[in-house]
């Protein structure tokens, strides 16, 4: 099956590394022109310089801080005044780890702005052209924790659950415009985020970080952690015409980690 996104334009959040970068690379390899978003300008410039342009793509980047909503709002509004996208990948860094007893209401407000408010606002701006063009793809990077909450990720559990239920409602509303809306439920992937969480867990438990990673791998039926490239393949499929009858779904990519149906 050949997937071509030639002529399509994509906006990808959190794309200076990890899952976001892997998605951007695969979309570009499939012919899409991509706009990267992150707060690390040096990393963005480096990635842009290596993206393929053999199918006439024109790539760009936006330096943004998802933790500063007012600043982000101004930048993304300016972007959409000059641009439109066919594919929107909503992805940000995760909020700080911690249990429900450790987090206060102010922490939840910050997580809401980071994970929900930026997603809804960006999507609202992207939808105008998508509806006019009668075609669009909205892909939300979520987590398996919306189905099986992780005790040490109370903020992520709560706010990402709001994102996936909002996305289900949105999918119903925009389906008539041939716009699909899907959530990818992320399992364990080899990213800096996982390394940071493992380091904190290792410190708390007084054990080597390698032992934490090994324990994580053994929880996955395939007994390994995912390669971000594999994530990029799924996102690229969902962004393509091949996935035109898939919408309003939560798709786990977790090596079988989820125990629930």
**Model pLDDT for residues 164-175, shown as the tens digit of each residue:** 999 999 999 999
196 occurs within a structural domain: no
Give me the mean pLDDT over the 220-246 stretch. Answer: 98
| Structure confidence at residue 134 as a pLDDT band (50, 70, 90) | very high
Give me the mean pLDDT over the 171-190 stretch. Answer: 97
Q: For tokens 């390899």, what's the residue?
A: 29
| Structure confidence at residue 7 as a pLDDT band (50, 70, 90) | very high
Q: Three-state DSSP class for 238? A: helix
User: How deeply is 120 buried, as exposed, middle or buried, from its count of CB atoms within 10 A (0-12, 13-18, 19+)?
Assistant: middle
Residue 108's Cα: distance from chain center in Å?
Answer: 20
127 occurs within a structural domain: yes
Q: What is the pLDDT of residue 198?
A: 83
The residue with greater pLDDT, 66 or 261, is 66
242 occurs within a structural domain: yes
Q: What is the pLDDT of residue 221?
A: 97
Based on the structure, what is the number of domains in the chain?
Answer: 1
Q: Three-state DSSP class for 49? A: helix
261 occurs within a structural domain: no
Give me the mean pLDDT over the 155-166 stretch. Answer: 97
| Structure confidence at residue 99 as a pLDDT band (50, 70, 90) | very high
Look up the domain containing 142 and give its range.
9-190+226-253
39 occurs within a structural domain: yes
Q: What is the pLDDT of residue 162?
A: 97
Q: For tokens 């959190």, what's the residue?
A: 14
71 occurs within a structural domain: yes
- Count of other CB atoms within 10 angstroms of residue 56: 9
- Mean pLDDT (the chain, rounded): 96
Return the axis-axis angle of helices 41-50 and 18-29, rounded to nearest 10°: 30
Q: What is the CATH number of the domain that holds 86?
A: 3.40.50.720
pTM of this prediction? 0.95
Q: In what order do the strands lie in the sheet with 33-38?
A: 60-63, 33-38, 9-12, 87-90, 136-143, 179-186, 250-253
236 occurs within a structural domain: yes
Whether residue 26 has pLDDT greater than 90: yes
201 occurs within a structural domain: no
């Amino acid at each position: 099956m050949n997937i071509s996104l030639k002529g399509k334009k994509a906006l990808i959040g959190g794309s200076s590394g990890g899952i976001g970068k892997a998605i951007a690379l695969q979309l570009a390899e499939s012919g899409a022109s991509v706009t990267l978003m992150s707060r690390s300008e040096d990393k963005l410039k480096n990635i842009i310089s290596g993206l393929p342009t053999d199918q006439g793509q024109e790539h760009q980047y936006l330096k943004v801080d998802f933790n500063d909503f007012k600043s982000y709002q101004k930048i993304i509004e300016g972007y959409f005044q000059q641009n439109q996208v066919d594919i929107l990948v909503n992805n940000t860094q995760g909020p700080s780890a911690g249990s429900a007893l450790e987090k206060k209401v102010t922490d939840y407000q910050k997580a809401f702005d980071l994970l929900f408010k930026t997603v809804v606002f960006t999507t609202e701006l992207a939808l105008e052209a998508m509806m006019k063009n009668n075609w669009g793809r909205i892909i939300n990077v979520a987590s398996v924790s919306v189905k099986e909450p992780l005790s040490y990720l109370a903020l992520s559990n709560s706010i990402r659950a709001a994102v996936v239920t909002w996305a289900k409602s949105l999918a119903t509303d925009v389906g008539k415009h041939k716009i699909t809306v899907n959530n990818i439920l992320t399992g364990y992937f080899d990213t800096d985020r996982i390394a940071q969480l493992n380091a904190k867990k290792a410190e708390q438990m007084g054990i080597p970080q390698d032992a934490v990673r090994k324990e994580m791998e053994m929880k996955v039926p395939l007994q390994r952690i995912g390669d971000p490239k594999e994530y990029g393949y799924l996102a690229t499929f969902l962004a393509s015409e091949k996935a035109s009858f898939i919408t309003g779904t939560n798709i786990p990519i977790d090596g079988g980690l989820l125990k629930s149906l």
